[in-house]
Structure 1
Amino acid sequence: MTTTTSAHDVISSDRVEGTTVYNTAGEKLGSIDDLMIDKISGQVRYAVMEFGGFLGMGTDRYPIPWNMLKYDTSQDGYVVPLDKAKLEGAPSYAGDRVPDYDETYRSTVDKYYGF
Structure 2
Amino acid sequence: MGPSEANAPATAQPPASTVTVTPKDAAPPPSVTIIGASEAHGVLGRDVRSAAGEDMGRIVDVIVDRTGHVRAAAIDFGGFLGVGSRKIVVDWNALRFGKIANKKDSITLELTKAQVAAAPEYKEDTPIVVLGASGSLQPLQAIQ
What TM-score does the superposition give when structure 1 sets the normalisation length?
Answer: 0.70
Which deviates more, 24-33 or 72-81?
72-81
> In structure 2, what is the equivalent of residue 113 of structure 1?
135
> In structure 2, what is the equivalent of residue 49 of structure 1?
75
The code of the aligned residue for 1:83 comes to: T
Structure with the bigger percentage of strand: 1
Tell whether 2:90 aligns with 1:64: yes
> In structure 1, what is the equivalent of residue 65 of structure 2?
38
Query: What is the number of residues matched between the two proteins?
Result: 102
Mapped to 2, the partners of 1:111 and 1:71 lie a distance apart of 14
1:65 deviates by 0.5
The 8 Å contact of residues 94 and 133 in structure 2, kept in 1 or not, is answered as: no
> In structure 1, what is the equivalent of residue 111 of structure 2?
82
Bigger Rg over Cα? 2
The 8 Å contact of residues 90 and 112 in structure 1, kept in 2 or not, is answered as: no
Secondary structure at the aligned position of 1:79 is classed as strand
The sequence identity of aligned pairs, in percent, is 31
Change beyond 3 A, Cα 1:77–1:5: farther
Gaps of at least 5 residues in structure 2 are: 1-30, 139-144
4+ residue runs over 4 A deviation: 3-6, 108-112
Mapped to 1, the partners of 2:97 and 2:61 lie a distance apart of 16
Q: Deviations over 1:11-34 (max 9, x none)?
A: 57xx21100111111222110010
Gaps of at least 5 residues in structure 1 are: none
Q: Deviations over 1:58-84 (max 9, x none)?
A: 210010001111103277121111111
> In structure 1, what is the equivalent of residue 120 of structure 2?
91
Mapped to 2, the partners of 1:113 and 1:99 lie a distance apart of 24
Mapped to 1, the partners of 2:105 and 2:112 lie a distance apart of 19
RMSD: 3.0
Tell whether 2:35 aligns with 1:16: no
Secondary structure at the aligned position of 1:67 is classed as helix
> In structure 1, what is the equivalent of residue 3 of structure 2?
none
The code of the aligned residue for 1:49 comes to: I
